[in-house]
Amino acid sequence: MTISISPLDLRLDEKNPRFVILSKRNQSEIIKYLLANEDVSQLATEINNNGDLLPGERIVVIKEKNKHIVVEGNRRTCSIQLLLSRKLIPHLFEHKIPRASDTVLKNCQKIEVDVVSDRDAALALMAKRHIVRSKTMETVCKKTVFCFEL
């Protein structure tokens, strides 16, 4: 199922294995981690320059305790949240996040997200996505190498 929702109403996934190193797994600590370690400021700049998320890259969420939790797309979600609400930007990172363009403010107030039934369904979807992407890239690389060998 697909829904339209404000990115500010999405919760970053505190159970994401990427965040196990954090002593506190709350929204502000996850944002700091993503900014410091996962190039979120660069992604926010790219989204701002593009004016929106790239097509075909919808965020995947589950609903737990009446909250929409991001299980695929935490970096993209965080980037959009920081563009839409500067008060979410940690003190030492304000200079790294651009002011949101009018286009982003218009296009990203609500975004479409895919809602899956539970974490198992999300894992199955992510596995399919990553396997298909890997095989596609492998095919592209083989064709590219073949072209260079001629």
* pLDDT score, position 12: 98
Q: Is the pLDDT of residue 52 over 90?
A: yes
The H-assigned helical ranges of 39-118 are: 40-50, 74-84, 102-107
Output the CA–CA distances (angstroms, integers) from residue 110 to 36, 66, 77, 105, in the order listed: 26, 18, 12, 10
Give the amino acid at 89.
I
Q: Is the pLDDT of residue 2 over 90?
A: yes
Query: Which residues are paired to 2 by β-bridges?
Result: 114
Segment 66-114, tens digit of pLDDT: 999 999 999 999 999 999 999 999 999 999 999 999 999 999 999 999 9
* pLDDT score, position 132: 56
* Residue 112 CB contacts under 8 Å (≥ 6 apart), including other chains: 2, 3, 4, 58
Q: Nearest 5°: CA angle at 107, between 118 and 88?
A: 70
Q: Is the pLDDT of residue 7 over 70?
A: yes
